[in-house]
Amino acid sequence: MKVTDHIKKAKGETLFSFEIIPPVKGKSIQELYDNIDPLMEFEPPFIDVTTSREEYVYIDRDGLLDKKLTRMRPGTLGICASIKHKYDVDTVPHVLCGGFTKEETEYLLVDCHYLGIDNVMALRGDAMKEEKYFEPTKGGHRFASDLVRQIRDINRGNYLHEVIETDYCANFCVGVAGYPEKHMEAPSLKSDLKRLKEKVDLGADYVVTQMFFDNRKFFEFVDAAREMGITVPIIPGIKPIAVKRHLQLLPQVFRVDIPQDLVDAVEACKSNREVRQVGVEWCIQQSKELKKAGVPVLHFYSMGKSDNIKAIAQEIF
């Protein structure tokens, strides 16, 4: 079932969902199940599974370094299929521009269709570690909007290179990313919102936001998006701070601000156990306010750990 249909069916009730990251290759999927199991009591209608960019590794061959391209956390679609089957829940694979040709994207979408996966998150992906700026893969897309267009075309039965004719179309529901504190490369919040509007005009059905720690930023973002004519559901993405290092890491990686009250509370902690508790409490307050404001879904970035998400969900759902 489509994410947007789950939202309609909920008739204004706020739903619970979360995002997971595939394990590093070679590890068992059981670790994922162990973290999903405790969250199923909150009845998520869908679970997102991220896709990681490929990266370079250097292999020492008798003193000479051999540079190889590899993906450390593959398996997004397989995980989606296995979770869907095991828990009878909708899964949302993240589909990236970076690292994929248009043909590979088409095959991935065909696989999704066969597996009964109705939703995909269409994302550009970040620059690779070695790159300063995002470089599109040869034969791939430059922006998420191009990917949304390709999915829309497939929904209309238009495949690449016009080599087939079909009267049986896929019907993907498409999510895209939004940034309450603007995307790091966007010159301004307004220009970033215009790009978001382009994605929606091309067929995106809903927006999931980057994490934020100050609800005001989310509310202002939604107001600005509505003013610009973006009418699709906007789902807040939230993450509890879990370790002291997050105070530097999260702003650096995601370009988000952390409110001073939260910084002070984390800095006063004597152990990461205390930090986790502070993160949970902050997130509970955020979630309560967002729910009161009528957000369609509270979408948690679990980063593979469920105990803190469970502690929050228990207070909210």
Query: Which active-site residues does the annotation give?
Result: 19
Measured distance CA(299)–CA(194) in Å, rounded: 24
Q: Which region among 38-46, 82-90, 154-162, 191-199 touches ligand FAD (by CB under 6 A)?
A: 191-199
Give the CA distances from residue 258 to residues 160, 248, 255, 265, in Å, rounded to whole numbers and listed in that order: 44, 10, 10, 11
Report the residue from 4, 91, 210, 302 that binds ligand FAD according to the rule CB under 6 A.
210
**Minimum CB distance to ligand FAD, residue 200 (Å):** 11
Residues 6+ apart with CB under 8 A from 278: 241, 262, 265, 266, 269
In 212-259, DSSP assigns E strands to: 234-238
Q: What is the DSSP letter of 240?
A: -
Residue 94 in contact with ligand FAD, rule: CB under 6 A: yes
24: phi then psi, degrees, rounded to nearest 5:
-60, 140
Report how many residues bind ligand FAD under the rule CB under 6 A. 23
**Minimum CB distance to ligand FAD, residue 271 (Å):** 30
Closest CB to ligand FAD among 101 and 272?
Answer: 101
Two structure tokens written together for 161: 């290179």
Measured distance CA(231)–CA(97) in Å, rounded: 25
* Residue 193 near residue 180 (C-beta atoms within 8 A): no
Residues 6+ apart with CB under 8 A from 260: none
Residue 239 in contact with ligand FAD, rule: CB under 6 A: no
Instruction: Give the N- to C-terminal CA distance of the chain in Å, as an integer.
Output: 22
Per-residue interface string for the shown chain with ligand FAD, residues 268-287, x marking contact by CB under 6 A: --------------------
Residue 183 in contact with ligand FAD, rule: CB under 6 A: yes
Report the residue from 96, 170, 241, 298 that binds ligand FAD according to the rule CB under 6 A.
96
- Look at strands 64-70 and 55-61 and give their pairing: antiparallel
**Minimum CB distance to ligand FAD, residue 210 (Å):** 4
173: phi then psi, degrees, rounded to nearest 5:
-95, 130
Report the residue from 4, 50, 91, 302 that binds ligand FAD according to the rule CB under 6 A.
50
Q: Which region among 185-193, 222-230, 271-279, 285-293 touches ligand FAD (by CB under 6 A)?
A: 185-193
Q: Segment 285-304, which members bind ligand FAD (CB under 6 A)?
A: none
Report the residue from 154, 208, 234, 298 that binds ligand FAD according to the rule CB under 6 A.
208
Measured distance CA(227)–CA(11) in Å, rounded: 23
Task: Report residue 86 CA to chain centroid gap.
Answer: 21
- Going 262 to 17 to 20 to 315, the CA torsion angle's sign is positive
Residue 306 in contact with ligand FAD, rule: CB under 6 A: no
Residue 91 in contact with ligand FAD, rule: CB under 6 A: no
**Minimum CB distance to ligand FAD, residue 74 (Å):** 12
Closest CB to ligand FAD among 199 and 276?
Answer: 199
**Minimum CB distance to ligand FAD, residue 75 (Å):** 13
**Minimum CB distance to ligand FAD, residue 134 (Å):** 6
Report the residue from 90, 106, 192, 205 that binds ligand FAD according to the rule CB under 6 A.
192
Measured distance CA(187)–CA(193) in Å, rounded: 11
Measured distance CA(273)–CA(156) in Å, rounded: 51
Q: What is the DSSP letter of 296?
A: S
Q: Segment 106-145, which members bind ligand FAD (CB under 6 A)?
A: 121, 123-126, 143-145
Binding residues for ligand FAD, rule: CB under 6 A, are: 50-51, 53, 94, 96, 121, 123-126, 143-145, 177, 183, 185-186, 192, 195, 199, 208, 210, 237
